[in-house]
Structure 1
Amino acid sequence: MGDGSLVRIAALVRQDGRLLVRDPAPLIVRTVMPLLIMGFMQPLFRAALRAGDVHGATGAEQAVPGMAVMFLFFLVTTVGFAMFREHGWNTWDRLRAGPARPFELVAGRLVVPLAVAVVQLAVVFAAGGLLFGLRVSGSYPALVVVGVPLTLCVVLTGMALVALCRTISQLSVFANLLALLFAGLGGALTPQSALPDWARPLAPAVPSYWAMRGFSTVILDGGGVSAVLLPAGVLCAFAAGLAVVAAAFFRTGHRKLSWS
């Protein structure tokens, strides 16, 4: 990747950054909402964890990572909006006609959502510790090892949906559906040990399962980096698969509609 390519990507990143600064409300809401829901869900999670022989559990051990993972996947729509916005403003064709290559157009649109995902995850975990008494018995670097590929999965899920969906309505519906499905199957809404019998065989098929498994290993079991290499590796595999889907179906010449 040459200097010219980096300059063009940086220009797109700066544009998305300016738009985010002008309207930070969606980011603020997605960060505050999980904290509000934690307050209601913590007593239920405390009872569920203690029923599962997690002695001394406060409920924050499930509430914080669970709500963090669930609301992180609602960020999928942000990736889609960034791409569909250009079509709605009739600026996509001008971008294509410029010197930027297709790879640069896509890469430039992924940097800001990825940074937002990392910040959102970090803030929710930090606030969970301050407000709800989350105690991490393992190593903090292990949380990072799980969190980084998780954010990649979120952003690339958004890019895959951009490639597959023609309208913003389609993308929004599928993104919200996936967020709820991943939350339920992955163990964000209930400890994985309490999942229904029918859901347990399906759970490993979603990235949120591996994220929750990794976070629980660190928070509850005191695991370090070596203990979360498997969940982190599976998340990287999910991210690679989503990248392949996006690359296979994304076409710069496909017209995207901002309405149904």
Structure 2
Amino acid sequence: MGDGSPRRIAALVRQDVRLLVRDPAPLVVRTVMPLLIMGFMQPLFRAALRAGDVEDATGAEQGVPGMAVMFLFFLVTVMGFAMFREHGWNTWDRLRAGPARPFELVAGRILVPLAVAVVQLAVVFAAGGALFGLRVRGSWTALVVVGVPLALCVVMAGMALVALCRTIAQLSVFANLLALVFAGLGGALTPLSALPQWARPLAPGVPSYWAMRGFSTVILDGGGVRAVLLPAGVLCAFAAGLTAVTLLFFRVHHRKLSWS
């Protein structure tokens, strides 16, 4: 990487930060909505956990990580819109014609969403503790060990969809579908032990399953960093696979359409 590469990436990051500060509404909504839904669903989560022999459960043990994971995957849509916006504004061609190389263009578009994803997770977990009495029996460091690769996985899922989709309508459909399927199969909507029989063999095939498994290990079982190395490692593998898809299919000269 040349001497100018960090400066070019930093310039792209500063542009994304300015746009985020100018319109923070999507970030605020994705952070507030899981907490609002948690307020309604906590009794259901409490009943489900107590039926699974967690006798002192408050419901926050399932609801907070579940809603955090579910709404984190909706970041895929927002990230995709940001990439397609460059084409709609006709600024992508100018970026491509500049000195920035394809790697720098991709890296510059990843860093801000990654930071946003980590902050979103941190705020939801902190607010879950303050508002809904979430008790973490294990290590908070272990939650970070799971949360960071999860955030990376979400960001790379967004980049992979940008690489594969030609129109913003395609990206919106696939991103929302993935978010809902991942929430259902991954145990974000119900404890993993309560998944339907048909879903249990499929669940390990989605990253949200490993995120919820890691979070549950820490929150309910009191696990530390060593206990979540497997879920964190699998999430890293998902992120690597999505990165490979992005590198294989992303072409800077491909024209993206912000309409159907």
The match for 1:131 is 131
RMSD: 0.5
Query: 72-81 or 238-247: which moved more?
Result: 72-81
Cα offset, 1:3, TM superposition: 2.8
Residues 1:251 and 2:251 aligned together: yes
The match for 2:75 is 75
* Secondary structure, counterpart of 2:53 in structure 1: coil
d(CA) in 2 for partners of 1:65, 1:222: 15
d(CA) in 2 for partners of 1:213, 1:41: 20
Residues 1:194 and 2:205 aligned together: no
* Secondary structure, counterpart of 2:159 in structure 1: helix
Unaligned stretches of 5+ residues in structure 1: none
d(CA) in 2 for partners of 1:195, 1:34: 21
The match for 1:65 is 65
Deviations 1:181-213 (A, max 9, x none): 000000000000000000000000000000000
Cα offset, 1:77, TM superposition: 1.2
d(CA) in 2 for partners of 1:68, 1:83: 24
d(CA) in 2 for partners of 1:168, 1:16: 19
d(CA) in 2 for partners of 1:68, 1:206: 16
Cα offset, 1:79, TM superposition: 1.8
d(CA) in 2 for partners of 1:72, 1:164: 21
The match for 1:181 is 181
d(CA) in 1 for partners of 2:246, 2:100: 19
Query: 11-20 or 81-90: which moved more?
Result: 81-90
The match for 1:208 is 208
Letter in 1 for 2:216: S
Query: 40-49 or 79-88: which moved more?
Result: 79-88
For normalisation by structure 2, the TM-score amounts to 0.99
Cα offset, 1:159, TM superposition: 0.2
Cα offset, 1:2, TM superposition: 3.0
The match for 1:49 is 49
Letter in 2 for 1:182: F
Unaligned stretches of 5+ residues in structure 2: none
d(CA) in 2 for partners of 1:195, 1:170: 29
The match for 1:162 is 162
Identical pairs, percent: 88
Cα offset, 1:134, TM superposition: 0.0
* Secondary structure, counterpart of 1:212 in structure 2: helix
Letter in 1 for 2:99: P
Deviations 1:74-126 (A, max 9, x none): 00012211211110001111111100000001110111110100000000000
d(CA) in 1 for partners of 2:153, 2:128: 22
* Secondary structure, counterpart of 2:152 in structure 1: helix
For normalisation by structure 1, the TM-score amounts to 0.99
Letter in 2 for 1:220: L
d(CA) in 2 for partners of 1:128, 1:76: 23
Aligned length: 260
The structure 1 segments of at least 4 consecutive aligned residues displaced by more than 3 Å after TM superposition are none
